[in-house]
Amino acid sequence: MLFWSGLAFFGLQLLVGGFMEVSPGHRDALFQRKLTDSRQCLRQADPAALKVVFLGSSRTLHGFAAGELTHIETGDVATTGSRGLSQPVVAYNFGARGFGPVGTLLNLRRLLDAEVRPDLVLIEVMPPWLASGMVELAPDRIAPGSLSFAEVQFIDQFATSRTELWGEWAWSRALPCVAQRARMLSLVEPNLLVEKERIEFIDLDAHGFDRLDESYPVAVRDAGRKAMEHEYHDLLQNFQLGDLQRNALRHTLQLCKRENLPCVLVYAPEGPAMQRLYPPAVLASIEHLVVDLSHEFEAPVIDGRHWLPEDAFLDSHHPMRPGAVQSAQHLTTALAECWPQLAPRLTRPDLACNAGAKPRLQLASEPSDATGNRQRH
């Protein structure tokens, strides 16, 4: 009797594991929800609207109110002799907590596999995520159990430990009711878990934006800054560009180029407290990398690091809701400045015709030198 009970238990586990493999919504419920919402958001928009997708980390998720990005002023009296040309826009925020370059690449591949094809992709550059010491493939970031077999095969090249990646994935399929217990119960009955075990499924708006509160007490913001400094101080002081992270970012840009998807590299806003953590030489190495990628893939760079003051953030790198709205407004202006370069690369003629001007190459500003000053030539 015990033998048959055990056999039935393991048979059930394998059945559930197989079901998870063919059911993306049960592997990664949050992405599936965003995918469904993004389809609806893009489908209901003006057919002439430029379809924009944000990809990145929690800085993107909390930092850009995508619904505020409604149009780009493409007319420029100085260059076109016209005024008031406006391109309608619909934007969706695919930022995700704990995601860096690898997660960004994963989400772009998933979108394209699901036949969600934006007109423009905004790719976040999150400098700390480019460090060799950062690990994305972890249960609280990109959980191996949330990946399909094909995704694990692809992500394998970016894993710091392939044995650990495959081991965790196999465990999640062989015993899903054990390995995925917290994820499953968080989705269907979170009250059965103690608070620290719950995986919060975030409250998104129609454009994928997860807003923080309008404001927080000073003590809460001070604690947030201290937590940020504790997390990033040593990492940035001993910073070295990671080959895995750099390759993942390059793969994302290569995928955009292969799919003929115009893209923009975007530095998300940072507060002064966060910016002070970067040694000048570290900052210069990051900017050199971004400039090189910008030129190689003809991807403009938008630098939003100085858009917001310290009091706009919860912790000097996650803006509160008013800051996220301001960031979207700044982004609208920055995209208008990039428009003459972007428009000729858009695949829809009704969008490109709004450029009105011949393309002019404006890729990235020159990087800082080792003292933090801007280089001029």
Asked whether residue 361 carries a pLDDT value surpassing 60, the answer given is: no
Determine the pLDDT at residue 6: 57
Q: Are 144 and 137 in contact (CB under 8 A)?
A: yes
> Domain residues of the chain, as ranges?
2-352
The pTM (predicted TM-score) of the whole model is 0.83
- Tokens 């982004």 locate to 331
325's tokens: 């709205």
Average pLDDT of the chain, as a whole number: 82
What tens digit of pLDDT does each residue of 128-168 get?
A: 999 997 877 776 678 888 888 899 999 889 888 888 888 88
What sections of the chain are H helices per DSSP? 2-22, 24-27, 29-43, 58-63, 77-80, 101-113, 149-155, 162-174, 176-179, 181-188, 218-237, 243-258, 272-275, 280-297, 321-342, 349-352
- 70 compared with 203, residue with greater pLDDT: 70
Which pLDDT does position 191 carry in this prediction? Answer: 66
Which of 19-23, 153-157, 243-247 shows the lowest mean pLDDT across its residues?
19-23
Q: What is the dihedral of CA 73, 78, 82, 87, to 10 degrees?
A: -20
Query: Backbone dihedral region of 98: left (phi > 0), alpha (psi from -120 to 50 degrees) or beta?
Result: left
Pick the range with the lowest mean pLDDT from 171-180, 310-319, 347-356. Answer: 347-356
Of the candidate ranges 58-72, 149-163, 320-334, 358-372, the one whose mean pLDDT is the lowest: 358-372
What is the pLDDT confidence band of residue 173, given thresholds at 50, 70 and 90?
confident
Q: What is the pLDDT of residue 183?
A: 61
CATH architecture of structural domain 2-352: 3-Layer(aba) Sandwich (3.40)
Counting residues of the chain whose pLDDT is more than 70, the rounded percentage is: 75
- CA dist list (Å): 334 to 96, 308, 374: 23, 15, 19
Please provide residue 286's backbone torsions phi and psi, each rounded to the nearest 5 degrees.
-65, -45
Contact status, residue 249 vs residue 256, Cβ threshold 8 Å: no
Q: How far is 166 from 156, CA to CA, in rounded Å?
A: 8
pLDDT class of 348 with cuts at 50, 70, 90: confident
- Indicate whether 222 pLDDT > 80: yes
- Place 25 in a pLDDT band, splitting at 50, 70 and 90: low
Give the other-Cβ count within 10 Å of 44's Cβ. 9
96-116: average pLDDT:
93
Three-state secondary structure of 12-29: HHHHHHHHHHHCHHHHCH
Mean pLDDT, range 223-236, rounded to an integer: 95
375 or 322, which is more confident = 322
49-71 pLDDT, tens digit each: 999 999 999 999 999 999 999 99
Pairwise pLDDT comparison (283 vs 194), residue with the higher score: 283
pLDDT of residue 160: 83
**CA distances for 259 relative to 117, 152, 349, angstroms:** 9, 22, 17
What is the average pLDDT across 359-369?
Answer: 44
φ and ψ of 265, to 5 deg: -90, 130
What is the mean pLDDT of the segment spanning 350-374? Answer: 45
The contacts of residue 345 (CB under 8 Å, 6+ apart) are 260, 262, 298, 352
Cα Rg of the chain (Å, integer): 22
Mapping DSSP to helix (H, G, I), strand (E, B) and coil, where does residue 265 land? Answer: strand
